[in-house]
A and B are shown apart, each in its own frame.
Chain A
Amino acid sequence: MDEVGGLRVVDVKKSFGGVKALRGVSIEFKRGFVHALLGANGAGKSTLISICTGALAPDHGQVEMDTIPIHLPNPRHAKQNGIAVVHQEPAVMPSLTVAQNLAIEEVGAMAILSRLSPARVRAIARGKLARLGIDLPLDTRLGDLPVSMRQLVEIARALSGDPRVLFLDEPNSSLSHEETDRLLRVCRAMADGGCAVVFVTHRLREVFSIADEATVLRDGLVVWTGKGSSVTIPEAVSMMAGGGTHEAREFTTKSDVVKPAGIVVRVEGLARKNQFVDVNLEVAAGEVLGISGLIGSGRTELVSAIAGLTRPSDGRIMFGGRHRRSWKDPGQAWRAGVSMVPEDRQHDGLFSGMSVEWNMMSVCRSLGIAPISTAAQMVDRLGIKTPSLSVPVSSLSGGNQQKVILARAMLTGPRLLILDEPTRGVDVSAKADIYALIREQASEGCAVILVSSELDEVIELSDRVIVMRQGGIVKEFGAHPTSSQLIATAFGEEA
């Protein structure tokens, strides 16, 4: 083994409330190499980066820097160890100027009342930008600039400390081609200067153009690691998708139940600024429409508009025989028979301090909808494990909380059920229950829209699958597409 040093993770495991995000990952990020970290949504990339940069502590395993085990209790500590990170969501201060944002670490290190002329701040900032070879308007408030500039500021800050290891988590998701090219060149130069560069991106072609090494993660495990040149993009895609494992399916969905006569919802030319464009789709009664695509492809934004949480800027929604430009408010959609199970149940779903019963009945009661059954019946039907109906919903496990949210949606007797990541952070048995429930709803004639990052879930449950990329529908598949097809389409690498 050649001793180049770098960052090594050894048998790292991490779970979130029973859900295993990393199941024993060992990777070496060598100094002097650009390492592409690949994987579909939920493969464990972000968790791994958080552990390597001190934002999360591993449950098991360790991190070694130049073969010496290091303990990273917080991000600051990681930084002192020469580990820098460019976050997907830039951590910047929008009402400060570009120059102040760039210089903030130096400013923080100064004596508290040091005189600091704007010229000096600008000089520090310029020094950092020079390295990237870019020019930004230094005196403009950062919040007034487009997101790409914020990302450049974050990148410039990360590069400036001469890091030994540099993690870039989707650094170019909002950069132009020119800016991306420059970033890739800088990464190359950093690596040549002895830094270990770890690159996460969904734009495979770019990363393959500079990666020396690559690792593919799937379901919290390393499925492949090796030289970047020894794998082709289609091969990488099929490894990310885990091709071949889903051939045997126990369930087949009933796609023969209904067709056009039973269209429940039709969306025509729907668009919302900077989120999605010109979306056309329809869902029939008893049909499950799966929506696949990467995070940020506009999936959540689209279903939020269909459910009346946001107003689309263009297009129309046909539901219950009426055409609308948009719903007046979510309540109108609920009353008409559209139920939404949001992606983030903690923020957008549950009233965590209130009881199980209160949560289940919250929509029906506040909107005056007659519930289709009692809360107690729902607890039985969904197999919700709770000591009583009156305990706070926050005392339940994640899976049971999710079932409460599902119960709330079902109690309104929906004709269209919209599920955004319905099994996120849910354990295996609850997952099976939720799948059964979705099928049951469909077989009772409910139209279902299922948004999910879990390919198996989409493939197994959907009668049709549409794939979104960059705010538009790029392809539609019938029942049971392969996971490779979905991944390749989502990444824009379809043959």
Chain B
Amino acid sequence: MKHLDEYRDAETARRLATSIHREASPTRRYRLMEFCGGHTHAIFRYGLEDLLHTNIEMVHGPGCPVCVLPIGRLDMAIRLSKRKGVTLASYGDMLRVPGSKGQSLLKAKADGADIRMVYSTLDAIRLAEANPDRDVIFFAIGFETTTPPTALAIEAASKKQLENFSVFCNHVLTPSAIAAILEAPAVRELDRVAIDGFLGPAHVSVVIGSQPYEFFAEEYRKPVVISGFEPIDVLQSILMLVRQLNEGRAEVENQYIRAVTRDGNLRAKQVVSRVFELRRDFEWRGLGHIPYSALRIKDEYAAFDAERRFNEPYVPSEGTKSCECPAILRGARKPTDCRLFGRACTPETPLGSCMVSSEGACAAYYSYGRMREPAQ
């Protein structure tokens, strides 16, 4: 398939790996954080770590929206789904994430709650149109990629006067999470992670552009390379980061030029700013409370805000004891450091969010890296 196969070519991968070998200095370490779970999966699925010298260390970041959603917010969704007359529409990734007291959306569904898995906000709108007697709530999660589709759905519902449709908004912002990793007191007090450079998100950057990362390059002297999600993209980006670090540069470079520009998608950014505004505070799993790190629905569209419409309060909740998800999301631990990993916690019986999502680091380790032999 065009625009896919050429970025999965083994021969090209070998050549890139050879260049990385030649250029990476054996006397220094390269600690590179791949922000996105999509990159984590590409790295494991295609065995990219085995192509790199051990002095190039990939640190897995928090870029998995399912993983960073705090349990208290999931509990809210579960409580909303159990209300009389409510149909909760959710992306499939959320259904098996464990909430408080052994609850999950899937269990709530088994108990009789009307929970539907949808692929798109378009499906959620259709669901509301087809069921005028039900209150359809769309459980909106995600970084900047899923936000414009949610905004369009709210605008469409407003235009159609679709009064039985609302959105439980949990959209979060990538630059805030990167800033938190670099400097938030909550993270610094816990465990500071040393990172030399970042592999920047592919599709988030399609929307927001490469410009928002310039601050990190300038202010923190950390190189950022925006990278596509295919294995060749990732290897080329690692090579670009190695070159920047070797030359003492800290710039924003764009490997994913075929879809990312400096300004991103203006149309998408406009619809987002019409419908959403910054939330003063949002709690992230693993990163704690980060000011202005998430979005809420503007007053103008308050009628479509499930939080206000149903007056559902947020109750913070702790996860499973000894689950290392929070530290794994900060890049401070690896999944294999967790006592539960592969024993009590597997993709079939997940105890933490990182094992559930197809982008979670634990799921990547379990699916592709579990049997990996240590490098000789």
Q: Do A and B come from one complex?
A: no
